[in-house]
Structure 1
């Protein structure tokens, strides 16, 4: 195998924000759940650090906010220095401090940042983004396309550096009119990829071949949205199941899934920025 991309999601499900569109808003994990998450992440990080079957990229996609936990920050830093790791990235609301990033390799570590209007002071958020820029950290910033987020997103676009990509995620269940979609497209020229679910059934997808998802138990699946397991990461049983295969689901409506569809040109759009959602040239 030349290169494997892993989307890791452990048991962490707590978040410090209470966004009304998120089922994990202000959810708290018990001390036992946090200890289990830490142990699971440390086990995965040890596996990733010892991976010797080719190059490796990792995207952490926790249900909750990972970077407020020391073990996620440490995992990001440690993996960023592993010579075989091409990219380590995480989805985050950027509520944590940023000084720890000075210990990371900025050529390897990247952040997929979501701005949640109403949850954080805009100036504070922009200052954090400025700190990332000063540290040389690659990052994208995005907003969920709720109607009341349009004006905050416009203000955010005006304040962010011109070279920082601002992505817009279509809100779950929202059917945008052409006029509404046009307003979001002014901010994100790639919004049309998020606006509608993509037909995927029977179509070629990199998941299950060069891209897999892994949970806290080490169960390997082709992606977060296809539940039958391929095996386990830690006993190596997943290896024999890695091969090209069509998607078994009729549609794919999440970026971390459809970005890997071979019927879409998104690998050409993002090239080496697929995991942190940064288009080529930005």
Structure 2
């Protein structure tokens, strides 16, 4: 079986203070961190044991995972397993990068978000250069707020041409056509993010070949549909895997709508769906 897993454990702490994020500068207690570490260890042990399946794993923590040693170790270890097609994580790239030398660059990838005002521009750009030097696949992106536009243009100019720079529409924001044109000049795929996608009753790969898993092992079709499909660790989820239509009116997050069968994004991101890397450089 080929299966993509989006894992989100209890970790909810972050070292950044982004005004648009409810988890900014949140601190997990020592007990919460121990619980997250134990949940991740249980999950990675399960993944390692599934040698009859071909698995891809994307870590989507509420907080910043790579500042925690257990996430760095999990990514490194999973990258060396023969039945893992890809292992990736969403990150603000505030961590050091030397640990990547121990990972398999053919398997590991990073989905990096630049947050202006939270880290010096040159520091972030230097870390991107370190990823490239280490042979790590990565994408870089920003949230499409007006005060981020100049920094996004600067980042696009300074990054190598083959590095995809994506732009996420800011939640709840309506973009005028001129505003959308500015962002599309940076990310030609921004029109996919600009508006929520009607999804009710439409076929989606989630719940069939893509699942969401939390720290308890509860399996859902995706992060945005609360209905449970079973549990990862007792295997009950397998009986529930089947083609199914989306029950929500719209889908407005990339990690959700990328799996809609009515959109062409599996072709656009072929081989790089988890890390948000297009199959070929997008024209600007």
TM-score category of the 2 structures, normalised to the smaller one: over 0.9
Per-residue CA deviations over 1:88-137 (Å, capped at 9, x if unaligned) read 00000000000000000000000000000000000000000000000000
> Paired residue for 2:69?
70
In structure 2, list runs of 5 or more residues that go unmatched: none
Other structure's SS at 1:226 match = coil
Could you state the TM-score of these two structures normalised by the residue count of structure 1? 0.99
Q: Distance in 2 between matches of 1:53 and 1:82?
A: 12
Alpha-carbon offset, residue 54 of structure 1 = 1.8
Alpha-carbon offset, residue 145 of structure 1 = 0.1
Alpha-carbon offset, residue 22 of structure 1 = 0.4
> Paired residue for 1:209?
208
The answer as to 2:117 corresponding to 1:89 is: no
Other structure's SS at 1:49 match = helix
In structure 1, list runs of 5 or more residues that go unmatched: none
> Paired residue for 1:178?
177
Q: Would you say how many aligned residue pairs link Structure 1 and Structure 2?
A: 281
> Paired residue for 1:256?
255
Alpha-carbon offset, residue 34 of structure 1 = 0.1
Could you state the TM-score of these two structures normalised by the residue count of structure 2? 0.98
> Paired residue for 2:112?
113
Q: Distance in 2 between matches of 1:52 and 1:259?
A: 27
Root-mean-square deviation (Å): 0.5
Other structure's SS at 2:255 match = helix
Alpha-carbon offset, residue 252 of structure 1 = 0.2
1:215-226 equivalences in 2 (<5 Å): 215-226=214-225
Other structure's SS at 1:140 match = strand
Q: Distance in 2 between matches of 1:90 and 1:49?
A: 17
Q: Distance in 2 between matches of 1:211 and 1:162?
A: 31
The answer as to 2:171 corresponding to 1:168 is: no
Alpha-carbon offset, residue 221 of structure 1 = 0.2
Other structure's SS at 2:73 match = helix
Q: Distance in 1 between matches of 2:50 and 2:114?
A: 34
Alpha-carbon offset, residue 281 of structure 1 = 2.1
The answer as to 2:244 corresponding to 1:245 is: yes
Per-residue CA deviations over 1:148-207 (Å, capped at 9, x if unaligned) read 000010111111111100000000000000000000000000000000000100000000
Alpha-carbon offset, residue 52 of structure 1 = 2.6
Runs of 4+ in 1 over 2 A off after TM superposition: none
Other structure's SS at 2:117 match = coil
Alpha-carbon offset, residue 77 of structure 1 = 0.2
Q: Distance in 2 between matches of 1:71 and 1:179?
A: 44
Alpha-carbon offset, residue 209 of structure 1 = 0.2
Q: Distance in 2 between matches of 1:264 and 1:170?
A: 17
Alpha-carbon offset, residue 259 of structure 1 = 0.1
